[in-house]
Chain A
Amino acid sequence: MSENMIHLTINHMPVEVPAGTRIIEAAHSIGIDIPHLCYHPDQSIKAHCRMCMVEVTGQRKLLAACSTLVWEGMEVITDSKRVYDAQVGVLDLILADHHQDCLACARNNNCDLQNLCRRFNRLKPDLPDVSSKERPRLDNPSIVRDPTKCVKCGRCVKVCTEVQGIGALSFTGRSAACKVTTAFDLPMNETDCVLCGQCTLVCPVGALTEVDHTSHVRHALHDPTKHVVVQVAPSVRVALGDDFGMEPGALVTGKMVTALKMIGFEKVFDTNFSADLTIMEEGSELLDRIKNGGCLPMITSCSPGWVNFMEKHHPEMIPHLSTAKSPQGMFGAVLKTYYAQRMGWDPKDIVSVSVMPCTAKKFEATRPELGRNGYQDVDVVLTTRELAKLIRYEGLDLKRLPESEFDAPLGTGSGAGAIFGNTGGVMEAALRTAYELYTGKELPRLEFEAVRGEVGGIREATIDLGGTSLKVAVANGLKNAEEVIRRVESGEADYLFIEIMACPGGCIGGGGQPIGTNNAKRQARIKALYALDKSLPLRKSHENPDIKTIYEEFFDHPLSHKAHELLHTTYAARPKRYDFTPYLHGTQK
């Protein structure tokens, strides 16, 4: 028996766990879920909500199970009268300060607080309603904040500060006036916020949710004059199943396509197609920059949270961003030009919908650069969660649906396109194509394990492009991105190509993915997308026959004039509203 194992009992059951384990985790290991709201397995401990109070023999006070480390011989009781009274009391205090609008709440039936109420058989507290009367904040295209529902658990603050390194949300005020908000209560988009939506993933209640656009889609579907076309991002197919009780990482492509067709979309296309297109443009751009002395290192631009981060926090680095649009943006442009021409549709009659794992994509779709002649290339962006809502409305049981294929011709994607959803995936897809375009030889081995990785962290690798070595870096989570930027700006690193995804694990861990997404599920999804890639006959973007066709018929070649016009974009510095510089330099009174 190892020396650093601790023996304790929980409700008289013996438990053995490594030293340094907290009571809540020790209980979890034997299947006991101690009630909690602020505790989150992927976050540091906050001990704010005090729901997890338990009794430990010999201790005068109740102890918080989330913050207390186990010790040898500890006896924990999680269900005594004292514990019950304290937990119900805390729950009642939280309920009295929570606007109970459950039926109309985005998180109805998917809410940690509601689950606790069910568990404690609690409907209304004995206490008067003291919830905030602030109006919900609908001040950006991506995220709604509803302060009346906030339980002040601090999960959003932690994810924003510790994982993303942004700190757009924080606690302000004290006592009953304590609340979570942005700097100076400004609209989120005018603060440091990049709309990544990680806060909406960790919020235990409906205080932070995506802006719901399902009604826009339904409205379009009910309009007979519109061609409603949908594209689905690579990472949605390995996450959607979560919302229907399937195994983490379950691949539901075929069922999802069936569901979209049954919902009524005229055409169901695959963003993997435009991911391949992105690789053609971005890969060519990289080779062009290397050959012609362009701005290096070149950094990927697929992740809209990341692009927002660059525009807001590092405008000086903008020339490093690839000008290639994101796959969503490219798809929209292709749909409303090439495909519209092919079908003889007026672009104004097309409603271009995308299903994305992302809240920042909602913002991206509103960028004026991503449209022309008075229309936007993508009209409505749904998150994975909103797609699940549409499927529920339709009354479909995803698990039992038959499988269907994406429509042609914008429905074929390679394995390289599929792994766009993973951290390191864009890099790997680009390397597969760049290698073959650069050397003219066939890649001996398609997998670039060195750039594959886990949730969080930074990976560096040197790739041999037939004699020329290419130093690359991959990061996910904006805190890591900031570190990569630091290395580049300080001259510490001499990368040529960098892939950054704003969310932990990449798009599979995006802010629009099903509630309950955590690092364990992220890992399962990463595995699933790599397995999908491996199972496909087509694994290189430049070999995708539909990609070849679109260049033959429309774009001519990567980086052509037309490609530049439709598939590339521009970025601009976006100053934050609050600028302390004058104060810092003492020029302001």
Chain B
Amino acid sequence: MGKTVSFISRNFGRYNPASLASYEYIGGFTALRKALGMDGLEIAKVLSDNGVQGRGGAAYDMGRKWSQARAVEAPHKCVVCNADEGEPGTFKDRELIRNDPFQLLEGMIIAGWSVGADNGYIYMRGEYSHLRPLLLSAIRQCEEKGYLGDNILGSGFSYRIHLYSGAGAYVCGEGSALCESLEGHSGRPRMKPPFIKQCGAFHLPTCVNNVESLSLVPPLLLDTQGFYKSQGTPDCPGTKMISVCGNVKNPGVFEVPFGITIREIIYDLAGGIEDGHQLQLVQLGGASGRLASPAQLDTPYTYKDMKAADLTAIGSGAILVVDERTSIIGFLRITQQFFFHESCGQCTPCREGNLHIRMLLDKVAAGTHTEQDIRLMEKYARIMSTASMCGLGETAQSALLSAMKRFPEVFAIKKEVAVR
């Protein structure tokens, strides 16, 4: 396990996640005390200096997000922790909440202080309901000890955290759909502008961050030795939580330095492919991620290198490994079925496109497709990615389009059928 690091996950197993006292014992809330002595912009600058990009999937410059959020003038603002973690194959946030709930809360309080919010909302996916008691108790303990509530640690800063559960819609991981759901409406993305940073949850300026992004804040503020920056590559410093699953011997959540190769992740950390089988493809970043062929395994896991290799640049941190036992078309159909099920139905390209592409893939699977079908599939996949209203429709066809490029043979026309 020489290739894993312990920075964001440094507290895993070191304290009792149910006990605030235990968290304090290992130095918990030192970062908050430090942060309360800093200016909000100064905190944002620490994030920028360390090149931190958001960990939810969109990889937005986090320091910039915070300084923009701080700059918005409003009597009330809020911070939202996106714990919807809906990307299939992604489960790093679950581990962060389960093993270190207080670090997340500490990160959220620092976020609130930094951007000038008075409320924080954790929007946690419905399937994580087993983690609710843990988080609720953690919030209550923080309130009792004065880390939450009025005049936190005598700083004059007042802030509360509320826990909300989603009802199972993938699209609610999209910031504006999340805000709608938080408000009690159907989880459908909003039209932008206005952007969430100006008008998000409850029509307040809202700063949405992923669980991992927020959990990263406390160790980063205390990292005076520059450990974080020493990890990774000069272009892409730091560490990342990833979740590896699929046909590997040792699936799980790992913290890795950026720059590690996909091959190292699969063979060194995850123990390689299950016995007697061959790696066929890797899907990166969840169901909305592109497919990598075995030839791309040596791509370094950085935003830039992944992008250059025409792969999903990190995304949610999911790595799904698929061996030859699964057919590529079968895999694409499952992915397509997922998006067909999860589209909110609001905008035309996503509502209709997912339906038609699903039908076309069924034809490909049955071997009854024609050249025209392949053309249509590609045409509508492109229209979806260019004309959809939100990220769901935009990325729903990433797997298909990358498969058409990397595995063209599986779309080949079955001549005998075509002639008949």
Contacts and interface: CB of A to CB of B under 8 A. Distances in A.
Interface of A: 45-51, 53, 61-62, 64, 67, 69, 82, 85-86, 89-90, 93-94, 96-97, 126-128, 130, 151-152, 154, 171, 173-178
Given A50-B387, A51-B348, A86-B386, 13 more contacts: A47-B191, A49-B348, A53-B386, A61-B386, A69-B193, A89-B349, A90-B348, A94-B352, A127-B376, A154-B346, A174-B342, A175-B354, A178-B344
B147 interface: no
B389 interface: yes
A86 B383 contact: yes
Contacts of A53: 386-387
Interface in B140-191: 169, 186, 188, 191
Nearest to B379: A89
A175 B343 contact: yes
Nearest to B389: A47
B348 A50 contact: yes
Contacts of B344: 174-175, 178
Interface of B: 169, 186, 188, 191-193, 340-349, 351-356, 359, 372, 376, 379-380, 383, 386-389, 394
A310 to B, nearest CB: 28
Given A93-B353, A175-B340, A175-B354, A85 B345 contact: no
Contact of B351 (A51, A126, A128, A178): A178
A306 B188 CA distance: 32
Contact of A90 (B193, B342, B349): B349
Given A94-B348, A175-B340, A176-B352, A45 B379 contact: no
A171 B345 contact: yes
A50 B352 contact: no
Contact of A62 (B191, B353, B372, B387): B387
Contact of B347 (A48, A85, A86, A126): A48
27 contacts: A47-B347, A47-B389, A48-B346, A48-B348, A49-B348, A50-B387, A50-B389, A51-B348, A61-B386, A85-B383, A89-B349, A89-B379, A89-B383, A93-B349, A94-B348, A96-B356, A128-B356, A130-B352, A130-B356, A154-B346, A171-B345, A175-B355, A176-B351, A176-B352, A176-B354, A178-B344, A178-B351
B340 to A, nearest CB: 6
- Those 7 A-B pairs whose CB atoms lie nearest each other, nearest first: A178-B345, A93-B352, A89-B383, A175-B343, A47-B191, A176-B355, A174-B345
Contacts of A154: 346
B345 A173 contact: yes
Given A90-B349, A93-B353, A175-B351, A126 B376 contact: yes
Contacts of A93: 348-349, 352-353, 356, 380, 383
Contacts of A85: 379, 383
A105 to B, nearest CB: 20
Contacts, number: 102
A390 to B, nearest CB: 36
A411 to B, nearest CB: 50
Nearest to A22: B193
A421 B169 CA distance: 48
Contacts of B345: 152, 171, 173-178
A46 B356 CA distance: 24
A130 B356 CA distance: 9
Contact of A152 (B169, B351, B388, B394): B351
B388 to A, nearest CB: 7
A126 B355 CA distance: 14
A96 B356 CA distance: 9
Contacts of B372: 126
Nearest to B191: A47
A175 B386 contact: no
A49 B191 contact: no
A64 B388 CA distance: 9
Contacts of B359: 128
Nearest to A86: B387
A93 B347 CA distance: 11
B361 to A, nearest CB: 14
Contacts of A62: 386-387
A290 B353 CA distance: 63
Given A127-B356, A175-B340, A89 B387 contact: yes
A132 B348 CA distance: 15
A127 to B, nearest CB: 5
A64 B393 CA distance: 14
Contacts of B347: 47-50
A178 B348 contact: no
Nearest to B360: A127
Contacts of A47: 191, 347, 389
A67 B348 contact: no
A311 to B, nearest CB: 29
Nearest to B394: A61
Nearest to A49: B348
Contacts of A171: 186, 188, 345-346
A175 B342 contact: yes
A97 B355 CA distance: 10
Contacts of A45: 191
A45 B188 CA distance: 15
Nearest to A179: B345
Given A47-B191, A128-B359, A130-B355, A178 B346 contact: yes
Which of B348, B354, B388 counts the most chain A CB atoms within 10 A?
B348
B385 to A, nearest CB: 8
A50 B348 CA distance: 6
Contacts of B356: 93, 96, 127-128, 130
Nearest to B343: A175
Contacts of B394: 61
B246 to A, nearest CB: 26
Which of A45, A93, A173, A175 counts the most chain B CB atoms within 10 A?
A175
A125 B237 CA distance: 50
B107 to A, nearest CB: 31
A46 B383 contact: no
A37 to B, nearest CB: 9
Nearest to B190: A47
Contacts of A89: 349, 379-380, 383, 387
